[in-house]
Amino acid sequence: MARRRKPINFDLLTSGDKDELVRVIDDLRKKRPCGPQQDLHAEDYEDCWEGARLSEAIQGSRKVRREGGGYSNYQLYTIAKVLGCEGSYVNEWTIRNALRDKVYGYGLSAAGTTRRTNRITERLRGGYRDAIRNGDVGDSVFGVYMRSTGEGRSKQDYQVQVVARSDQEAETIAATLFGYALGAVCSTDFVKEGTASDTMMQNEKARKKTVSYIEGKRNQIAKLQAEITDLEAAGEAISMYSISAFTVGEDAGVDI
């Protein structure tokens, strides 16, 4: 009787245990992964033009992605973070470098590294993205890009950070708190898991940027005021000439 495989230990994985990382990567690189509980088998998969995917029955009962090898969105997100992924998507080069630096060393051929990179990136990408979008990650820092437009507005771009559980929530919070002053939300980007204290540095940079905008506008006002003064002087000079010429003309026609 075959020995039952041990489930993936995510506590070990997130604590930096290399053996557990190698084990989960070796599972994900398979055509038909055994999943986090290591209880999936070949018959739990269906072949399709994209490769093997979980059957609809398994996907429905476990509430997982068909291409994710039986792992939940948050589990895929966790694996990607252990591999060094940052921001709102899984970067292929990050995966390639992590396989070399954290998992296999330099023992793999270039072709072998490419095959593993492609498959693992495909496994992780959707789950990582949706874990962020759906709020599975918990409180996180999101970068929000905003732009003020319209008559009488400063027409400036701003980049602030807020704490939210999803990109949609981040957009709503930013629009509510900053929209009246900073304008419309253009886009949001996941930065990292975090709290309000993690937003302070970026928001201080954004505040200082507004101060620089103010100084720039004041300099523009000063230049415009100088131009207005010049124009006023020009107008006065022309008026004085006209008055003087009219007066001289009148004096020339008077009999003494």
- For β-strands 157-164 and 140-147, DSSP reports them as antiparallel
110-125: per-residue pLDDT in tens? 898 999 999 999 999 9
Domain boundaries, the chain: 10-133, 140-202
Q: CB neighbours (10 Å) of residue 107?
A: 8
Q: Residue 112 in contact with residue 120, Cβ under 8 Å?
A: no
50-105: per-residue pLDDT in tens? 778 899 999 989 999 988 999 999 999 999 999 999 988 999 999 999 999 999 88
What pTM, to 2 d.p., does this model score?
A: 0.76
Q: CB neighbours (10 Å) of residue 140?
A: 22
Q: Is 48 helix (H, G, I), strand (E, B) or coil?
A: strand
* Residue type present at position 30: K
Tokens encoding 243:
């008055």
Burial zone of 97 (CB within 10 Å; 0-12 exposed, 13-18 middle, 19+ buried): middle
Q: Is 171 helix (H, G, I), strand (E, B) or coil?
A: helix
Long-range pairs, 212-215, Cβ under 8 A, ≥24: 213/154, 213/156
Asked if the model's pLDDT at residue 37 lies above 70, the reply is yes
Residue 35 to residue 28: CA distance in whole angstroms: 8
What pLDDT was estimated at residue 148? 84
Give the CATH number of domain 140-202: 3.10.20
Residue with the two structure tokens 């969105």? 73
Give the mean model confidence (pLDDT) for residues 20-37: 95
